[in-house]
Amino acid sequence: MFQTSERPKAGVTLVELLIGTAILAVILGIVSRWFFMQREYQQRLSRVSEIQEDFRRASWNMIQELQMARVIIWPRINADKSLHSDTKLVFKDFNGQIISYYHESATRQIRRCVIPNGPGGVVINPRPIGEGIASASFTASSFDNRLISFHLSSGGVHALDAVYLLNGD
């Protein structure tokens, strides 16, 4: 007579497989959620970094010209000697030209133009001096019209800086 002796095969049962799959699903769920959160965070940081770069470029462009300027024409201190702010800045540069920086909220840019002393039209620079700036304000901060503070902001990022004009008029 033949006797069949079958050895039990080592392997996973359906229950073990299901438990394994469930554990894997939970782990993947946690990891993927964390991954997407991190990706969102990275994107936000990348945006912040870009905004800061925009601020640095705009500040550098303005400070370089302003510190050699002669006098701030607008904005000026209020009659009661309090500060006065505007989104436009007008000043006389080292060569006596009248220059204006102004913020365009529609394009999120700070533009520069030359205002003629006599007849002729305003000459706007083709390239903006600052881009990606949601709001900009220039504040007259001293009685002698030589100190101008500015505040740039965009997407919750801010820059507070100031320039003291080295040359008096």
Nearest to another protein of 1, 10 (CB atom): 10
> Is residue 156 a contact residue for another protein (CB under 8 A)?
yes
Q: Enumerate residues 49-78 that contact another protein by CB under 8 A.
A: 49, 52, 55-56, 59, 78
User: 76 in helix, strand or coil?
Assistant: coil
Which residues are 136's β-sheet partners?
152
Closest CA to 111 of 97, 95, 124: 124
Cα gap 75→146, rounded to integer Å: 11
DSSP H or E segment with residue 102:
strand 98-104
| Only segment of 94-102, 108-116, 125-133, 147-155 that touches another protein (CB under 8 A) | 147-155
Residues that bind another protein (CB under 8 A): 9-12, 16, 19-20, 23-24, 27, 31, 34-35, 38-39, 41-42, 45-46, 48-49, 52, 55-56, 59, 78-86, 137, 139, 141-142, 144, 146-147, 149, 151, 153, 156-164
